[in-house]
């Protein structure tokens, strides 16, 4: 068996895991903390989110024998980071994450639910995604104005990485962030708790279930996870010649999302970026054994999960603007892609623009966030224009 595992698959799996984690851990932490989590709850959420995608990344490739790369919901975490905390605090956010996990499971068991989501016009879905990403993408510019000497080294490192290889941009930025944290941030009196360095002191919040959190948080979180992660992830695998049975994969990632949600974890889902790394020839000449790259990434994710407490402790030492700046840099490619896709149909520009503006505005109506209303009004305007054009 070991002789049939290509070295290229192992090395690509390790690389994909480090790229995936370093590119988005700041986004996940920003999203969980924006919902009112304490440092302990944020560490707990990061631990189970990383562990969940690690378990899925080992389990699903073993079953399917294809490189089914799994990641946490980066756009979902960005949505949480850009949304005001709920009246019920982090407990209400946990309830919304449980709702979201349930919706993903439901989609996996009932194909018609998935068809309803797929029926949302792609420009509308991308307008929603761009709207929820926009606020966090402002963070690097805002931080540049408030803490320029801390942010500039991160920006320069990000640019150097981008010029060398697009996938190196965020790892370079994270390395620069650590250097800045060591030399540029006064950590006098701060200390890392040795007893929680490799395992968080688990601090889950009791879930609170409300109707408003279902529509304000759970539904938009579900939509951006499906439109921003699952659907592109499936497309990458199919583009590389792999036959994908979508329902079981949605169902299984949904079940894991449901299990980790009570600990304050964002959902896990199919990945597009790391899937592209592990499904191509760089992971081995033989497509039949590239699934070992995904399994390897899963093993690395499980190991990285035990650094969640350390990562959260380090992040807590940095100014909040610096953390959100790192998160915003990671989301710029997703923002550009979603805006481009939102305006791809010149005959239907108003509906995705309306969805984008309402979702990005941060407004609430009847206790429900703008992300939900943006999709609803966007679909209505899209349908009205389509009828008028006939």
Spatial CA neighbour of 143 closest among 327, 321, 319, 315 = 321
Q: Is residue 386 part of a domain?
A: no
Strand partners, 364: 369
Per residue in 73-130, pLDDT (tens digit) is 888 898 898 888 888 899 999 999 999 999 999 999 988 887 887 788 888 888 888 8
Residue 239 Cα distances to 56, 275, 286, angstroms: 22, 11, 16
Q: Is residue 230 part of a domain?
A: yes
Q: Is residue 369 part of a domain?
A: no
Regarding predicted confidence, which is higher, 60 or 363? 60
For 290, counting Cβ atoms within 10 Å of its Cβ (0-12 exposed, 13-18 middle, 19+ buried), the class is buried
3-state DSSP call for residue 191? coil
Dihedral (C-alpha) 49, 51, 53, 59: value to the nearest 10 degrees? -150
Q: Is residue 353 part of a domain?
A: no
> What is the predicted pLDDT for the residue at 26?
84
Q: Is residue 104 part of a domain?
A: yes
Residue 95 Cα distances to 137, 214, 264, angstroms: 27, 8, 9
> What is the predicted pLDDT for the residue at 195?
45
Q: Which of 135-144, 292-301, 329-338 has the lowest mean pLDDT?
A: 329-338
pTM of the predicted structure, to 2 decimals: 0.84
Spatial CA neighbour of 126 closest among 219, 229, 217 = 229
Per residue in 290-316, pLDDT (tens digit) is 899 999 999 999 999 988 888 887 777
Q: Is residue 366 part of a domain?
A: no
Q: Is residue 229's pLDDT more than 80?
A: yes
Q: Report the half-sphere exposure of 37 (CA within 13 A, side-chain side).
A: 32
Q: Is residue 93 part of a domain?
A: yes
Strand partners, 232: none
Q: Is residue 374 part of a domain?
A: no
The whole-chain average pLDDT of the chain stands at: 85
Domain that holds residue 265: 2-184+194-345
Number of domains in the chain: 1
> What is the predicted pLDDT for the residue at 186?
62
> What is the predicted pLDDT for the residue at 289?
87
């Amino acid at each position: 068996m070991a002789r049939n595992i290509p070295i290229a698959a192992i090395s690509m799996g390790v690389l994909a895991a480090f790229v995936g984690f370093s590119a988005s851990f700041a986004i996940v932490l920003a999203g969980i903390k924006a919902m009112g989590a304490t440092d302990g709850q944020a560490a707990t959420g990061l631990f189970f989110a990383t562990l969940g995608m690690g378990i899925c990344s080992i389990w699903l490739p073993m079953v399917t024998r294809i490189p089914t790369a799994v990641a946490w919901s980066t756009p979902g975490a960005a949505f949480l980071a850009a949304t005001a905390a709920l009246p019920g605090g982090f407990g209400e956010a946990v309830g919304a994450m449980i709702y979201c996990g349930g919706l993903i499971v439901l989609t996996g068991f009932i194909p018609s639910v998935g068809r309803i989501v797929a029926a949302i016009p792609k420009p509308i879905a991308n307008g929603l995604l761009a709207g929820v990403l926009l606020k966090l993408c402002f963070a690097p510019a805002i931080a540049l104005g408030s803490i320029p000497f801390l942010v500039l080294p991160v920006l320069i490192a990000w640019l150097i990485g981008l010029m060398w290889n697009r996938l190196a941009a965020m790892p370079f930025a994270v390395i620069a962030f650590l250097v800045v944290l060591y030399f540029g941030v006064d950590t006098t009196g701060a200390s890392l708790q040795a007893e929680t360095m490799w395992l968080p002191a688990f601090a889950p919040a009791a879930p609170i279930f409300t109707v408003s959190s279902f529509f304000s948080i759970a539904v938009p979180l579900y939509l951006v996870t499906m439109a921003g992660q699952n659907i592109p992830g499936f497309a990458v695998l199919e583009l590389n010649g792999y036959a994908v049975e979508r329902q079981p994969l949605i169902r299984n990632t949904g079940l894991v999302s449901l299990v980790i949600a009570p600990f304050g974890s964002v959902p896990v889902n199919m990945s597009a970026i790391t899937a592209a790394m592990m499904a191509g020839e760089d992971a081995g000449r033989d497509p039949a054994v590239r699934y070992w790259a995904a399994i390897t990434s899963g093993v690395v994710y499980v190991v990285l999960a035990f650094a969640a407490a350390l990562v959260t402790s380090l992040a807590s030492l940095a100014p909040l603007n610096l953390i959100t700046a790192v998160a915003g840099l990671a989301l710029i490619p997703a923002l550009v892609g979603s805006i481009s896709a939102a305006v791809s149909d010149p005959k239907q520009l108003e509906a995705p623009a309306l969805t984008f503006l309402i979702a990005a505005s941060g407004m609430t109506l009847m206790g429900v966030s703008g992300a939900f209303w943006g999709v609803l009004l966007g679909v209505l305007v899209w349908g009205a224009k389509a009828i008028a054009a006939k």
